[in-house]
Amino acid sequence: MFDPVLLRTFLAVADTHNFTQAAAQLGLSQPTVSQHVQRLEQAAGRQLVLRDTRGVRLSDNGDAMAGFARTILAAHDHAAGYFTGSAVKGRLRFGASDDLSLTQLPRILRDFRQSYPQINLELTVAQSGGLARRLDARQLDLVFVKQEAGTERGRLVRRDRLVWAAHRDHVVEAGVPVPLVVYASPSLSRAAALAALERGGRTWRITCTSREVHGVHAAVRAGLGVTALPQSLVPQDLVHVPAASALPALPEIDFVLLDNPTAARGPVDALSAAILDRPATTTGVGYEERRGDGR
């Protein structure tokens, strides 16, 4: 009864309260947006959008239609995803570094499950090193992890640099051991931090060890010390340690996809493409709380 194209246009108007902005969002002309809304109103037999000197707003019937439209489009997209992705099926054991679970990766996985409903996705969240070992033991099919820059293993998603991060009120004092918050060993960021301090001739003391990103962030927020994080994954309420603190520079790291050569290629390639095809800011790299989009 209700054309999905018209419903999408109507929701764009409902969300923006502006025909011009809705047109820009949809890549349509403003007259086309107006026509779509008029056709939907004709199909519903009710006035859905009210325009006056104060702007654009929904009528009571428009509010009701917005709720129905979201339900209809969700069902439409689910059906389209079912039949579009029906050729790819099977089991996919996927592992992701725990800090990447705080980014856009959950949204990518949600969209993937809608597009490929016949793929049984099993998610494991852990530290990069442990995931790589499980992949090598054929216990996982695909992992999204961090590794040393230039390792040339796997498919590169993005390169980033580790930086020192701390609470904004934390002061790194010269001449005293650097207080460190680190991941449990083995850890890429832990090894990089200790190696950099050793090369720079700085002593350190470990004030907190955690196996999870939430523990690292909590300890740093409590002022227990500094930590090494990918630059793009520094939470909004933490800051880069200033250069005046004279902490040594940290190396670059790569975000990569590694796959199990014995796994079924269909599911592995489908999820790999879903991650690689996203722009750099939404491939699981970029802090969710700050960009809508951390270790």
Return d(Cα 12, Cα 23) in angstroms, integer: 8
pLDDT of the residue at 139: 95
pLDDT < 70 positions in the chain: 78, 80-87, 244, 278-295
Segment 216-253, tens digit of pLDDT: 999 999 999 999 999 989 998 998 887 767 899 999 99
Q: What percent of the chain has pLDDT over 90?
A: 53
Pairwise CA distance, residues 198 & 200, whole Å: 5
Local structure of 1: helix, strand or coil? coil
- What's the predicted TM-score (pTM) here? 0.65
Residue 147 tokens read as 């590794």
Tokens coding 181: 């918050």
CA–CA gap between residue 119 and residue 250 (Å, rounded): 39
Q: Please give the radius of gyration of the chain, using alpha carbons only, rounded to the nearest integer.
A: 24
In this prediction, residue 83 carries a pLDDT of 67
Instruction: Count other C-beta atoms under 10 Å from residue 249's C-beta.
Output: 12
- Whether 164 and 250 have beta carbons less than 8 Å apart is answered as yes
257 in Cβ contact with 142 (< 8 Å): yes
E strand segments, 59-107: 90-97
Which residue has 């990447």 as its token pair?
100
